[in-house]
Structure 1
Amino acid sequence: MSKHEHQHQSHQDIIKRLKRAEGHLRSIVTMMEEGRACADIAQQLHAVEKAVCQAKRTLIQDHLDHCLEHAVGAVAQGERASLDEFKQITKYL
């Protein structure tokens, strides 16, 4: 498997989001080391958590849209509906 075999258009955006979350997480550690209020820290942790969850959701949906479509190929209309339903429900991850 090559390094770029599973690279999709959304991956660069996901990388940027994760790098921002990484920097944000480092600033939260600093906040804790400085003894900042727990409510402030919790709020910032919540923001990082949401960013990481959104990155995960985007990655999974991108995978389904590209890799699963490629693997399944052309399918009958009835089977296509099942695939579309599966892709739709992943939005709730």
Structure 2
Amino acid sequence: MVGDDDSMALVLNRLRRAHGQLAGVITMIEQGRDCKDVVTQLAAVSKALDRAGFKIVATGLRQCLAGDADGNQAPLTEAELEKLFLALA
């Protein structure tokens, strides 16, 4: 995954936060916590993952459209880009 350092740092922070939240959800379930609390935290995990995914797509869109500079990766087709976006929807 190639992107500017600031964008990738944001993505990694979001993924680390989601990782911690997911660990918290697992602990909550193991402790028999209230369903409402578990679902609320699970929604937060889902949102964090979605935001990370959208940031990756937004950051990499230019690269995906052009392919890589060395010619090792061909540009993505419109159908492939649509599939990426729909995977996050």
Give the structure-2-normalised TM-score: 0.68
Which whole-Å deviations, capped at 9, do the CAs of 1:17-65 have from their partners, x for residues lacking one?
1011101110111111110001110010001100100100110111113
Residue 42, structure 1, aligned to residue 14, structure 2:
no
Equivalent-residue separation in structure 2 for 1:39 and 1:49 (angstroms): 15
Q: Which runs of 4+ in 1 moved over 3 A?
A: 68-71
Structure with higher Rg: it is 1
Partner secondary structure for residue 8 of structure 1: coil
Which position in structure 2 is the counterpart of 1:11?
8
Identity %: 31
Instruction: For 1:45-84, list aligned pairs within 5 A.
Output: 45-65=42-62, 67-68=63-64, 70-71=66-67
Q: Which runs of 5+ in 2 are unaligned?
A: 68-77
Q: Which residue identity does 1:8 align to in structure 2? A: G
Equivalent-residue separation in structure 2 for 1:38 and 1:68 (angstroms): 41
The alignment covers a number of residue pairs equal to 72
Q: Which residue identity does 1:7 align to in structure 2? A: V
Equivalent-residue separation in structure 1 for 2:2 and 2:13 (angstroms): 14
Q: Which runs of 5+ in 1 are unaligned?
A: 1-5, 72-82
